[in-house]
Structure 1
Amino acid sequence: MMKLKLILPVLLFANQLYAQDSLTIRKIYDEALVNGKCYENLRYLCKEIGPRLSGSDNAGKSVIWSKKLMESYGFDKVYLQEVMVPHWVRGAKETAFIIDGKNRISVPIAALGMSVATPKEGLTANIIEVHSIKEVEELGEKVIKGKIVFFNRPFDERMVNTGEAYGASGDQRFMGPSIAAKYGAVGVIVRSLTGNLDDYPHTGATLFDKDGKNIPAAAISTKGADKLSAMLKMRKLPLVKFYFKQACQMLPDVVSYNVIGELTGIEHPDKFITVGGHLDSWDLAEGAHDDGTGVLQSAEVLRIFKAMSYRPKNSVRAVFFMNEENGNRGGKKYAELAAQNKEEHIAAIETDAGGFTPRGFSFEDVSNDLMKKLSARWKPLLEPYEIDRLIAGHSGTDIGPLKDKRPGVVLIGFRPDSQRYFDVHHSSNDVFENVNKRELELGAAGMATLVYLIDQHGL
């Protein structure tokens, strides 16, 4: 009887907390779905400003606009963090042909970010198809030297999460050109990192060693890749050549900024929960899903709290990081200054997987015990909104540097449905029209809910 008397008040208190949290979460969703602002803000960012590659004029315009937007919402603090960023420019539109005897067959390509230009007249060479970096290393200089290397490993369609397929294929774009250069290749063509069969080349950064040779590298559309592969199989190697021309170049680094808005905690103003995405985008399109949706959902989290008159216990920041796409300078600068200022970060949430239907969150480098506790506590609250998939996994590039600079911070990735993201990722298809208003607002509400739960109950 005595044990029962002790247990009953605890259960009553737990039920009261659950009821209070449930009511607050319902209010968060009501505000996001009825009065949400992130869709209209995204329209402005995409249509009035447009592509925002680091170092570009549009990137600078987006910084000014983002700061004014946060100030208009009356956040407690709005400020800029200066960061030096790379300035790579694409130049004139690329051209490419498969040369089969006297026939020239045009295929769509796009220079990879940080690549160099071809000679002004373009580059023509025999082409060799490979499916892995290991294959290049096995073929060696004897076979590779003087040729254009064609990396043609497609997404593994068996992988349900398309982000995992992207990760499994990504090394051929990230590292493939630099490895091919070591064995004497004169250029590289990489199959676009998408599972979709289309004629839109998908760009993205490639990495070259500082002391290594930087050779021209471009992505080819998946339809173009299939066409090229079929022709190589039909003809003997010397009969099929490849021509491409691109005019990209690296310019000196320029000054840019992270944009930060903050609601100051009423109990622990020196403890921080960060939610953010990256403001920069590739230059082929408007950067709608990558990552306009992410930054504007992040600002929406704070706007929702303001609209509800919710004052967080801990300080909550929305961070628009600059330069995720080709350097991650913004994420590194944020972590560096967090360490310098001795800020205590409880959690950091990154949204950089598109503005599609929210499914849940991934927690990086956390124990199984913590995952079980979080699922037990929060799954009943999140389940009605279909955002209850809490898993161990990668968080995000921008918040990653916090791991080393601020040990103890829990890094979390927002996980929407992944099936359509790589149809548009890094391509000219990444436009405002491909974002669904309700999906975007549901994602903002889901992130606001997680921030609220962390703020109220910790991790």
Structure 2
Amino acid sequence: MKKLTLLFVCILFASEGIAQTSNVQDSLTMRSIYDMALLNGKSYDWLDYLSNKIGGRLSGTLNAEQAVNYTEAELNKLGLDKVWLQPVMVPKWTRGFPEYAYLETGPGKSIITNICALGGSVATPDLGIKAEVIEVQGIEDLERYGRAQIEGKIVFYNRPMKADLIHTFEAYGGCVDQRYAGAMEAAKYGAVGVVVRSMNLRLDDFPHTGSMTYGDAPASERIPACAISTKGAELLSNTLKLLPTLEFYFKQNCKIYPDVQSYNVIGEITGSTYPDRYMVVGGHLDSWDLGDGSHDDGAGCVQSMEVLRLFKKINYQPKHSIRVVLFMNEENGLRGGRKYAEEAKLKGETHVFALESDSGGFTPRGFSFDIDDEDFAQVKSWETLFKPYLIHYFEKGGSGADIGPLKEKGMVLAGLRPDSQRYFDYHHAASDTFEAVNQRELELGGATMASLVYLFDKYGTKSELKSIKN
């Protein structure tokens, strides 16, 4: 009995020793990743070129094509095992001449206000639209007012993002339906146009665009839709209280074209142990056209490229094949994410983990995971490795729109979660420019992503380990 007890104690101490050694090794590897990113990073230079040499990268445009060519060339410089372009058909929508709008408060009296067309909207008639305005707090308000009060008017959706919600993406989700489906629903009541309060927690003069839908409505029933800046929304709402019959004028010149071909940009380091098991890290290469898309999602793209560059620089040979995927057309169609998942399924590829960065280039706070309990317990055990870098947020939740179509049973999806308090100041607006990105914050995000990929590559997922044993 004493011999058995002694054996058990020896095994226990040996196991603890192995665990401690592994923990030290992981800490040292992560330290080398952070050192390389902060002292010899490349992501900020890549973003500088994407933002300032190319600019906004709306899918189907020349700028998007230039971004594809540039990132493909940069990935080739890293000495990866494979770099290729994956064709994908994407929608093509153009804004045309800048939009123009004003409030008419009386004969010959008007106040100009800042608007922008929503992505996918139809144009106004050549001479624009001028009509009375009815203010509502959301799509659900339309039924309350009914056709009698809405027909022939412009519907003004003015539900703001809730400032008391700490998680700003939750606040965004609480009102973005106005932007996405507002025109489709208002048209059913005879509205002639839609004006939507920008999805922004700050009061400023920047209108924020974004995708919208008409559903299956025929072209003859589609009405133009625009976003108004938060300051403009406050002005319009307050003026309506004084002058309920004021008229709003707006003109926009956007146009929808047939789909065109574009590409996902993909680079790969082939795994040493499991070359046919794939881990993906990525962001979306397209952006809206008002700014240069630095936060949304140039930051996510260059951070993802940096993950593979860091592995090459520290001479880390992954067990799994690690792919960076720069997805095309997340903003107005999600065609790139769906195409990648479709091709992976057709080829019978096994994906075990995917990580996306699409929440801006701000200070990283942690990750959210689409994950089962067993794998999440493993993730929680890694928290102490990230704490020296002030990374503490490890929660179950969403991951990313582009990697969502990859989801299969047992697969782990993750999303980088930077500090989000300033994100919607820039999201889909002309203010989303390179100057709004802090180099150190951007580089910390890339290193944080590389560290998580490293850990999942080294230890695998629980479902994967079970399948290997079987």
Choose from 65, 69, 94 the match for 1:64: 69
| Structure 1 Cα separation of the partners of residues 430 and 25 of structure 2 | 45
Q: 2:379 aligns with which of 340, 356, 374?
A: 374
Decide which of 253, 267, 277 is 1:247's aligned counterpart.
Answer: 253
Q: Check the 8 A contact 2:184/2:217 in 1, yes or no.
A: no
For residues 112 and 173 of structure 1, the distance between their equivalents in structure 2, rounded to whole angstroms, comes to 8
> CA separation in 2, counterparts of 1:17 and 1:297?
26
Pairwise mapping of residues 177-326 of structure 1 onto structure 2 (< 5 A)? 177-212=183-218, 213-235=221-243, 237-238=244-245, 240-326=246-332
Separation in structure 2 between the aligned mates of residue 387 and residue 271 of structure 1, nearest angstrom: 28
The answer on 1:398 being equivalent to 2:402 is: yes
What SS does structure 2 have at the residue aligned with 1:197?
Answer: coil
Secondary structure class of the residue paired with 2:306: helix
Q: Does 308-317 or 212-221 show the bigger shift?
A: 212-221
The whole-number CA distance in structure 2 between the counterparts of 1:412 and 1:432 is 26
1:197 and 1:211 mapped to 2: Cα distance? Answer: 34
Give the match for residue 331 of structure 1: 337
* Superposed CA offset, 1:214-235 (max 9, x none): 2100000000000000011112
Deviation of residue 4 (structure 1)?
Answer: 1.2
CA distance in 2, matches of 1:323, 1:58: 13
Q: RMSD of the TM alignment (CA)? A: 1.0
Q: 1:184-213 deviations in whole A, cap 9, x for unaligned? A: 111000000010100010000111112353
Counterpart for residue 411 of structure 1: 413
Return the TM-score normalized by structure 2. 0.95
TM-score (norm 1): 0.97
State which of 35, 41, 45 in structure 2 corresponds to 1:40. 45
- Residue of structure 1 in register with 2:464 after alignment: none
Deviates more, 1:131-140 or 1:318-327: 131-140
Match of residue 467 from structure 2: none
Which piece of structure 1 moves more, 207-216 or 118-127? 207-216
Q: Does 1:10 align with 2:18?
A: no
SS of the equivalent of 1:67 reads helix
Deviation at 1:432, TM superposition (A): 0.4
Q: Select the residue among 440, 450, 453 that pairs with 2:452.
A: 450
Q: CA deviation at 1:95?
A: 0.4
The match for 1:176 among 169, 173, 182 is 182
Q: Which amino acid aligns with 2:58?
A: L
Percent identity between the two aligned chains:
53
Write the distance in 2 (CA, Å) between the matches of 1:367 and 1:50: 40
Aligned partner of 1:430 in structure 2 is 432
Q: Which amino acid aligns with 1:107?
A: T
Which deviations, in whole Å up to 9, do the C-alpha atoms of 1:65-111 show, x marking residues without a partner?
A: 11000001111100010000000000000000111112111000000
2:78 maps to 1:73: yes
1:118 to 2:120 alignment: no
CA distance in 1, matches of 2:392, 2:305: 22
Q: 1:145 aligns with which of 140, 151, 159?
A: 151
1:145-164 equivalences in 2 (<5 Å): 145-164=151-170
Show the counterpart of 1:385: 389
The answer to whether the aligner puts 1:83 opposite 2:91 as a matched pair is: no
Deviations 1:341-373 (A, max 9, x none): 111111110100000000000012x33454333
Take 2:52 and 2:372, find their aligned partners in 1: how far apart are those partners?
Answer: 43
1:98 maps to 2:106: no
- Residue identity in the other structure for 1:72: K
Structure 1 residue runs of 5 or longer lacking an equivalent are: none
- Quote the Cα distance in structure 2 between the aligned partners of 1:436 and 1:294: 14
Q: Secondary structure of the equivalent of 2:147?
A: helix
Letter in structure 2 aligned against 1:411: L
Whether the 8 Å CA contact 2:372–2:410 is kept in 1: the answer is no
Picking from 25, 29, 47, the partner of 2:30 is 25
Q: Take 1:129 and 1:368, find their aligned partners in 2: how far apart are those partners?
A: 46
Contact 2:128 2:251 in 1 (8 A): yes
Q: 1:444 to 1:153 in 2, by over 3 A?
A: same
Q: Which amino acid aligns with 1:381?
A: L
